[in-house]
Amino acid sequence: MDRSARKLLAGISVAIMAAAIAGPVAAQSPAASGAAGGGYFIGISNNAAGNGWREEMICSMKAQALASGQVAKMQVIHQTTDAAGQLADLRTLVSAGVDAIVVNPADPAALNPALEEAKAAGITVVAVDSPVTDPDTYILSNDQENYGYLGAKWLFEQLGGTGKVVYMRGIAGVQADTDRDTGFKKALAESPGIEIISETFTNWAQADGTQQITALLDAGTQIDGVWTSGIDNVIVDAFKTAGVPFVPVVGADNSGFVSQLLDSTNYPGLIGAAVTNPGSVGGAGVALALRILDGNAPAEKLSLLTPQVWDNVSDAGKASLAEASDPSLDPTWPLGLSVPDWTTYTKEQLLACKAPGE
């Protein structure tokens, strides 16, 4: 059964249910028709490649599609590009005739023309990690504003409300960074004794973060604490290389950083907190797209995953770090390998990073 036939059948099913007609025909769902036709065709659009978080996100998308048994084919466009480039990528997926698109958007509003074209073609769209302003797009994201707030609040409390802090952001203009900045500034307003001595954009690239913190350390800059937007283990290593005493560091739940926080032998005196930000939200986005295609769309367009703070100061934080720790993983991969109530793949499927047909 081709895609247009599946959509026609979906429309008939909805009409029958609306008329409250019970029976075998009313029980027919788009999922059943999709499975009969060999499964759905899912498109993926990502605007930043080369960092561990995005690589895990892509692998979780592929793994969830495979684990679902409902996806016959995926087209993954995974590259570093700007909003204009991603707009073109989305149009490529629309032209390919996908049933759904899962996108990590470069800009909240600039992609709307392509999202309108997808809607006109009857394509379901789910945005993950960052929101879009298109009112018909479903959004499943980590709560980025709360991510920024919780980590900053923890750091400022560790400093007793005073001190000089290095603020290392992500990519300028990306909504996730903007939302984190809102949360960070909220915490900063609550701690007027904190001074931001450097604010940089790491572009979520470890090389950039290393260069930026090394320049400050080489200059002998007084640093009392560092907040990073997930570029964390290389910041700790830069302090160690420079022979400078560690200061409290906030990062994400990345494997390398979590290992450092637990390693008092090689990193004596290191205090830090990992704020959870699972890359597996990508797989959750695929699961959401399949639910919508099956006729089980949520009542709300927005779903947020609540971040947690895992520090190596509190007993609860240490326990969370120890439970999540997996040194066998790439140090840049976040440790939230799955999203409860959303993803269904195994760890082995995630690490294999294979989509249906690969």
| 322 inside domain | no
| 39 inside domain | yes
Identify the domain containing residue 98 by its residue range. Answer: 3-143+279-306+337-352
| 289 inside domain | yes
- In this structure, the answer to whether residues 61 and 32 fall within a common structural domain is yes
Q: For position 173, what pLDDT does the model report?
A: 86
| 93 inside domain | yes
Query: Which residue bears the tokens 């390919």?
Result: 96
Q: For position 51, what pLDDT does the model report?
A: 86
Asked whether the predicted pLDDT for residue 309 surpasses 90, the reply is: yes
Q: For position 296, what pLDDT does the model report?
A: 96
pLDDT band at 201 (very low <50, low <70, confident <90, very high): very high
Asked whether the predicted pLDDT for residue 8 surpasses 50, the reply is: no
What's the whole-number average pLDDT of the chain? 90
- In this structure, the answer to whether residues 71 and 148 fall within a common structural domain is no
Last residue in a domain, options 231, 255, 275: 275
164 burial level (CB within 10 Å; 0-12, 13-18, 19+): middle
Asked whether the predicted pLDDT for residue 105 surpasses 50, the reply is: yes
| 233 inside domain | yes
pLDDT band at 307 (very low <50, low <70, confident <90, very high): very high
Q: For position 62, what pLDDT does the model report?
A: 98
Q: What are phi and psi of 140, to 5 degrees?
A: -130, 110
- In this structure, the answer to whether residues 102 and 168 fall within a common structural domain is no
Q: For position 236, what pLDDT does the model report?
A: 98
| 324 inside domain | no
pLDDT band at 334 (very low <50, low <70, confident <90, very high): very high
* Residue 290, C-beta contacts closer than 8 angstroms, at least 6 positions apart: 31, 40, 68, 70, 71, 100
CA–CA dist 336, 282 (Å, integer): 12
| 320 inside domain | no
pLDDT digits (tens, 9 = 90+) for 141-178: 999 999 999 999 999 999 999 999 999 999 998 889 99
Q: For position 35, what pLDDT does the model report?
A: 39
| 95 inside domain | yes
pLDDT digits (tens, 9 = 90+) for 231-244: 999 999 999 999 99
- In this structure, the answer to whether residues 8 and 136 fall within a common structural domain is yes
Q: For position 38, what pLDDT does the model report?
A: 55
- In this structure, the answer to whether residues 196 and 222 fall within a common structural domain is yes
- In this structure, the answer to whether residues 9 and 126 fall within a common structural domain is yes
CA–CA dist 151, 117 (Å, integer): 39
- In this structure, the answer to whether residues 56 and 136 fall within a common structural domain is yes
pLDDT band at 49 (very low <50, low <70, confident <90, very high): confident
- In this structure, the answer to whether residues 157 and 268 fall within a common structural domain is yes
* CATH number for position 149: 3.40.50.2300
Token pair for 46: 């990502």
CA 262-265-268 angle, to 5 degrees, is 80
Asked whether the predicted pLDDT for residue 30 surpasses 90, the reply is: no
Token pair for 47: 């605007």
Q: For position 50, what pLDDT does the model report?
A: 83
- In this structure, the answer to whether residues 37 and 63 fall within a common structural domain is yes
- In this structure, the answer to whether residues 217 and 348 fall within a common structural domain is no
CA–CA dist 226, 163 (Å, integer): 11
- In this structure, the answer to whether residues 177 and 265 fall within a common structural domain is yes
Q: For position 16, what pLDDT does the model report?
A: 31
Domain count, the chain: 2
CA 104-105-109 angle, to 5 degrees, is 155
Last residue in a domain, options 228, 254, 275: 275
- In this structure, the answer to whether residues 263 and 287 fall within a common structural domain is no
